[in-house]
Structure 1
């Protein structure tokens, strides 16, 4: 079966500084996958390479069996790839509802698309704050809004970069619950985060990178049975 996303031996650099050295992994439709590793190891650069924001020098990125790494970022987004970026980057001067409806689209041509009502059902707190400006929200609420905004595009692939970074434990639990619900709904998702213990419960497969190279990849059961792997490459 052809993967929804195939990252094939990509190499990416910023000027003379090479960051990625042959990164490869694939995600099947309906899977939840993770990209793991310590800070500065190339996870965000991998996401930027997939999204067309940082050009790759070698290798290829294929999505829905189309080679996309030479495409512009806006064209890639219209294919149905949505990202919840590190730092959230919501519009501070728009209300919660305006942030959501500004991105409304059905890029996956879903018969049951994400709507304002469905996002509010997933995150009731956003409905309570519907009239609040983006800069009036807590960090956790901003993350919920960023996820809801991405879902409003009805993507084939949802990417979360640092899904729970800087969030209080209770808010993290809400985000994990949200991810669990999305997995049940069959939303293909790529998650970048550091809480491996929770991710092995949620995700299907994992890719660990170190200094811009894949050092381990496999299914959740294999990672669960080998905690020394994540302690070596992800633990602080």
Structure 2
């Protein structure tokens, strides 16, 4: 039986919400760039994000910025994938209007999710919400299809694309160098070693790099 999300029927049990460390629920959907299956992005990082509605001011500012920074995502082997519960035709009209008014062509796919099956599976719509608008959710999905981080913003607060790029860089650095990233870390700055797992390791770290046994800095090579 396929693990791909299907449009739920009246008696279908509620789909589980996506969580950090879990496999991202697979799905197939229509988008502004043609049919998409989430698992087609395996082997690359993916930033999968929802927006409340087309033709809204905050969403327009976000999409223009995502597009303007798309080369930075591509350089990090990361694709972009958007979603809202609007129709494909609304998405197409919005994309064309953004290009006509702002001179920016949105090239990443925007998913049509009229049934809200994908949005609900990913927890993009709160269970008690009286509105069908999805919140501003961001899911960081690694090349193995695992959700590594997520951020939820309220409808009235726009996302920071720079912060999304920072989190992506932190995840990739952690994987590559076996480190953790401290508060406010950005590429080029020192990371920290994970916490010691036993007293011997704590003893070995005492005084390393002028730090404490529980706070040991390490260069990242970036």
TM-score range for the pair, normalised by the shorter chain length: under 0.3
Name the structure with the higher helix share.
Answer: 1
Query: Could you say which structure has the larger radius of gyration?
Result: 2
